[in-house]
């Protein structure tokens, strides 16, 4: 059994990395794990992980199990899953994964164990307490395959001091946002009016809220590509235009959140739209030069209203091939309990449990304006922040094309039409 899985592992790793030196193996004895009660947990580098890591000794003490933790960056985590799960490895028990990015592909490939009976087995743990959107995202073909741990909405980060100095109100609509960004850029050319992600693929999730607020979506209700509708074209032009006209000087088209956040926290921009779950980066004095000057507001309303995404960005699942599924579940049950979720949320991780949100303690550590923005966004939020397809990576590249075209000042409408054709072809190919 073991030998076969190693050969398979080698075959997949080799086939996928011929000519590359990107793969690194990690290993532990699989048979040992069954007997000695080790739970192998793979987590992403994330604020949620930091909190849970500190609490693991508590779990080890109460359960008698030993936790072997692997912690990786997002991309490396994806690559590890690609290699290990593809090879049918049993080396991972609990896995932190992104329901909207990998969920469909993992479910289709049968990588995730069915947790339906497990989630309903413990009423005090309370699966019903989970918000509807997150639950939907971790359910595949009627089966629960993951437990959400973090939720996210896009909010507006802004600089209170700059707005005050310019005599501006917090923008409530996209038009006001543009006017405010323009005014600030004009009064102090060194400060950008607006900053956000610019990378073709990385910007897609944050652009999505603009798309919805302009009345568009990536795929329409009949399942057809819809990224060249008037609404979509306007959204592309607006988002790219904000960055092109009022963004930082020499703006690159590779920025993900760490780069964009750095510009904002170094005091380089007045407005920034980003996931609320990253707010600590802006308000922590150790990380941010403008920690005490940051304000939060709900995403400004577009022609179709303020429609930010409201999604579960990460969840915990169990590897279908793990021989340690019961212990894996014990870990998840502990890590997602009401107490732990409350502790995580107080440490700055917006959780998926309704009871924690309705508990005043759950929002006690949040800046008041952020808590209000989150509450508003949760109400009118959209349940996805990227196209809901199997090969999300490819879809993001296609629908992100017009974003960078718009940022660089190319013909946005033409780019949207071109991307529409490519996206429809892509959608058709996935249906086969």
Partner 1 sequence: MSVLNPPRSAGTRNASGRKGTGRSFSAWANRHRKWLFAAPAMVFVGVLIVFPLAWTLYLSLTDSQGSVRAATDFIGLKNYLTVLTDMERFWPAVGRTLAFTGVALAFEVVLGMGIALLLWRPFRGEKWVRVAILLPLVATPVAVGMMWRLIFDPNIGFANQLLGAIGIPPQPWLSGQDTALGTTIFMDVWQWTPMVVLILLAGLTSLSDEPDEAARVDGANAFQRFFYITLPLMMPTVIVAILLRGIDALKTFDILYATKGKGGGSFHEVETLNVYAYGLSFDYNQYGLSSAVLILFFMIIIGIMWLLTMRKKAVSK
Binding site for partner 1 (CB under 8 A): 10-12, 14-22, 75, 78-79, 82, 85-88, 105, 108-111, 198-201, 248-254, 256, 259, 262-263, 266, 268, 390-391, 393-394, 397, 400, 404, 408
Q: How far is the CB of 250 from partner 1 (least distance, A)?
A: 4
Comparing CB distances to partner 1, the nearer of 15 and 375 is: 15
CB of residue 335 to partner 1, shortest distance in Å:
27
If the CB atoms of residues 175 and 397 are measured against partner 1, the closer one turns out to be 397
Virtual torsion, Cα 124, 129, 134, 139, nearest 10 deg: 50
* Shortest distance in whole angstroms from residue 404 CB to partner 1: 4
Q: How far is the CB of 396 from partner 1 (least distance, A)?
A: 9
Parallel, antiparallel or unpaired: strands 147-159 and 269-275: antiparallel
The closest alpha carbon to 91, from 81, 79, 103, 99, belongs to 81
Q: How far is the CB of 142 from partner 1 (least distance, A)?
A: 21
Q: Are 47 and 280 in contact (CB under 8 A)?
A: yes
Alpha helix segments (H runs only) across 216-315: 230-246, 257-265, 279-283
Q: Return the beta strands (E) in 161-292 as ranges.
A: 192-195, 269-275
Nearest-approach distance from CB 50 to partner 1, in angstroms: 22
Cβ distance to partner 1 smaller for residue 111 or 272: 111
Least distance CB 5 / partner 1 (angstroms) = 12
Min separation Cβ 43 and partner 1, Å = 19
Q: By C-beta, is 18 or 286 nearer to partner 1? A: 18
Whole-number minimum distance, CB 242 to partner 1, in Å? 17
- Token representation of residue 354: 């309704």
In the complex with partner 1, the residue whose CB is nearer, 60 or 254, is 254
Phi and psi at 172, nearest 5°, equal: -105, -20
Q: Which residue has the tokens 């107490």?
A: 339
Nearer to partner 1 by C-beta: 21 or 123? Answer: 21
Q: How many CB atoms lie within 10 A of CB 38?
A: 18
β partners of residue 140: 143
Q: Identify the three-state secondary structure at position 180.
A: helix
Tokens of 218: 């990536």
Residue 37 per-residue DSSP state? T
DSSP 106-151: HHHHT-BPP-HHHHTT-TTT-GGGB-HHHHHHTEETTEE--EEEEE
Judge residue 341's burial from the number of C-beta atoms within 10 Å of its C-beta, 0-12 exposed, 13-18 middle, 19 or more buried.
buried
How far CA 365 is from CA of 52, 347, 348, 361, in Å, comes to 18, 7, 8, 8
Q: Return the percent helix, strand and coil in the chain, to nearest 5.
A: 50, 15, 35
Tell me the closest approach of the beta carbon of residue 21 to partner 1, in angstroms.
7
- Specify the residue, 105 or 297, whose C-beta has the smaller distance to partner 1: 105
Q: Enter the DSSP assignment of 432.
A: -
CB closer to partner 1 out of 325 and 406 = 406
Burial of 429 (0-12, 13-18, 19+ CB in 10 A): exposed
**At CA 16, angle to CA 11 and CA 20, rounded to 5?**
115
Smallest distance, Å, CB 111 to partner 1?
Answer: 8
Closer residue to partner 1 in complex, CB, 237/251? 251
For partner 1, the closer of residues 3 and 368 by Cβ is 3
CB closer to partner 1 out of 68 and 397: 397
């Amino acid at each position: 059994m073991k030998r076969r899985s190693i050969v398979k592992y080698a075959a997949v790793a080799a086939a996928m990395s011929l000519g590359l030196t990107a793969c690194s193996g990690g290993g532990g004895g699989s048979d040992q794990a069954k007997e000695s009660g080790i739970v192998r947990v793979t987590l992403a580098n994330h604020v949620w992980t930091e909190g849970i890591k500190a609490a693991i000794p508590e779990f080890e003490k109460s359960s008698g199990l030993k936790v072997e933790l692997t912690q990786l960056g997002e991309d490396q985590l994806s690559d590890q899953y690609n290699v290990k799960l593809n090879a049918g490895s049993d080396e991972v028990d609990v896995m932190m994964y992104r329901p909207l990015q990998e969920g469909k592909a993992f479910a289709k490939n049968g990588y995730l164990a069915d947790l339906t009976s497990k989630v309903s087995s413990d009423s005090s743990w309370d699966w019903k307490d989970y918000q509807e959107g997150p639950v939907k995202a971790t359910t595949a073909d009627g089966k629960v395959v993951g437990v959400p741990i973090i939720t996210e909405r896009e909010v507006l980060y802004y600089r209170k001091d700059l707005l005050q100095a310019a005599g501006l109100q917090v923008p409530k609509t996209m038009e006001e946002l543009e006017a405010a960004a323009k005014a600030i850029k004009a009064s102090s050319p060194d400060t950008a009016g607006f900053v956000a992600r610019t990378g073709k693929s990385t910007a897609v999730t944050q652009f999505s809220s603009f798309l919805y607020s302009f009345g568009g979506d990536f795929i329409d209700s009949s399942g057809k590509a819809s990224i060249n509708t008037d609404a979509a074209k306007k959204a592309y032009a607006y988002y790219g235009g904000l960055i092109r006209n009022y963004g930082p000087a020499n703006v690159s088209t590779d920025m993900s959140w760490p780069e964009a956040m750095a510009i904002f926290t170094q005091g380089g921009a007045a407005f920034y739209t980003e996931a609320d779950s990253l707010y600590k980066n802006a308000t922590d004095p150790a990380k941010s030069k403008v920690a005490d000057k940051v304000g939060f507001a709900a995403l400004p309303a577009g022609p179709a209203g303020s429609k930010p995404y409201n999604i579960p960005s990460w969840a915990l699942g169990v590897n279908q091939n793990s021989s340690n599924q019961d212990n894996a579940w014990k870990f998840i049950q502990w890590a997602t309990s009401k107490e732990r979720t409350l502790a995580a949320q107080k440490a700055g991780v917006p959780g998926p449990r309704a009871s924690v949100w309705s508990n005043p303690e759950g929002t006690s550590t949040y800046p008041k304006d952020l808590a209000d923005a989150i509450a508003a966004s949760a109400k009118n939020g959209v349940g996805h922040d990227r196209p809901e397809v199997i090969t999300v990576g490819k879809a993001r590249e296609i629908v992100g094309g017009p974003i960078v075209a718009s940022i660089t000042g190319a013909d946005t409408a033409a780019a949207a039409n071109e991307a529409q054709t490519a996206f429809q072809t892509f959608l058709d190919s996935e249906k086969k």
